[in-house]
Amino acid sequence: MTGFALGVDQEEWCGQLRALAVQRLRPLAEKGEPGRVNRPLLAALGELGLLERVFASGALELCLLRESLAYGCTEAETALALQGLGAYPVLRAGSEEQRERWLPRVRTGRAVAAFALSEPGAGSDAAALALAATADPATAGGGWRLSGEKCWISNAPEADFYTVFARTGEGPGAKGVSAFLVPADRPGLSGAPLDMLSPHPIGSLAFDGVPVGPQDLLGEPGRGFRVAMDTLNLFRPSVGAFAVGMARAALDATLAYTADRTAFGGTLSDLQAVAHRVAEMATRTEAARLLVYAAAGAYDRGAGDVPRRAAMAKLLATETAQYVVDHAVQLHGAVALQRGHLLEHLYREVRAPRIYEGASEVQRTIIAKELYGAAVAGR
C-alpha cells in the first residue's frame, strides 16, 4: 500500500459511527462509574452490531471502527476493543465448544472478556511471564494448576472469562507458554481493582491453584505465545487508530476554539505561533493516520512485514496523539483543565496507549529487530 483514501461508503459509515458515538453511546458512558465495567454500554454495542463487526471484519475495518468511536466516545471505543482483545484468541485458537459457549455472548455484550498477559514482573517482556501451570495428575485426562499473579489486566476483576497465558514448560522462554480460557468462577481465582489514571477498568488477578484441563487450552500446549502475538499484531494498528481518533477530536476542538477566541486584537488563529502549531498538529495526525491504515492493509493482505508495520503504526500514532492532545490543552488554556472538558478527558485517556499492548520502547525494539533481520536475510 503506497497511499490511503477512504471510499464514499466508508466515509459515510465513519460519519454515522461518530454521530452514533455522541448521540447513543456517550450518554451511557457518562452514566457509568470510572474504573468499572459498563455493562449497559456493552449491551448497546452488541445491540448496534458493533461488537459483531470486531470479529467479522479485517484490520482495516477494525481501525475505521475504533477511530470513529474514539472521536465521539472513548469509553465506547475502549469497551469494544477490550471485548475484541480478550475474545480474539478464542476465535483464532479456541475449540468449537469454547467458541460456541462464549463468542455469541461476547458479540451481544452479555459476557465480558479479558486478555490476561501482563504480570508484576513481566509487562514489556511478555516472554518472561512466571504464572506457573503445574501438571496435576489428579485431573482426569491430564490437567494443570495455575499459580501466580497477573497485573494491569483490563476488565479485571469483573470479566466473565479470561484469556490467560501461563508457563507450562515445554521449552525455554516463549516456547514454554500456553494459553487457557479461564472462566471467572473457577475456584482459586480472585482479583482486585486498581485505581489507575485511565478511566476504564483495570485490575490484578491472583491464581491459587486454579484448575484447568485440556478442554481449557486455546490451541496447543507450548504454543500460547504465538496466540498472544497474533492477537497483538491485529490489535496494535487499531490501538493506533484509537489514538488517531483522539488526536482528530483534539485537533477539531482546537481549530474551533482558536478560530473564535479573541485575544490581542484578533483571534488566536491570527497569531502565527498558534497557526503554525495547529498546522504541525494536523500534519502529524495525518501522517500517523496514513501509517495506521497502511499497517492495517498489510495485515489484511497477509504481508510478511506485519510485525514491523504494526509496531510503527502504534508507536507513531500513540506518540502523536500525546503531542496533539498536550498542545491542544496548551492552546485552550485553563478551560481545558476543568473536569468534564473534552480535553481534560482526552488528556487522561491519551497517556495509557503509549504503554499498554507494548510500550513505545518495545515497539522501537520490534522495529529495529525486524529491520536488522531483513537486512541480514538480504545479504
Please list the residues that pair with 153 across neighbouring strands: 203
Nearest to 153 by CA among 213, 217, 106, 206: 206
> Roughly what angle, to the nearest 10 degrees, separates helices 272-301 and 306-332?
160
- Look up residue 230 and give its three cell numbers: 497474533
At 171, the amino acid letter reads: G
Report the 10 Å Cβ neighbour count for 115.
27
Q: Which residues pair with 206 in a beta bridge?
A: 149, 190
Instruction: Select from 120, 115, 125, 210 the least CA-distant residue to 173.
Output: 125
Contact 313, 372 (CB under 8 A): no
E-only strand ranges, the chain: 113-116, 132-136, 143-154, 161-167, 177-183, 189-193, 202-212, 262-263, 266-267
What single-letter DSSP state applies at residue 24? I
CA distances from 303 to 51, 55, 218 (A): 26, 20, 25
Cα torsion angle, 118, 121, 123, 125, sign: negative
| Grid coordinates given for 307 | 510485525
77 is catalytic: no
Q: State the cell numbers at 181.
A: 480460557
In terms of Cα–Cα distance, which of 256, 145, 152 is closest to 204? 152
- For residues 59 and 317, give the distance between their C-alpha atoms in angstroms, rounded to a whole number: 16
CB-count burial class (<10 Å; 0-12, 13-18, 19+) for 16: exposed
> Which residue among the candidates 77, 119, 349, 357 is catalytic per the annotation?
357
Catalytic residues: 357
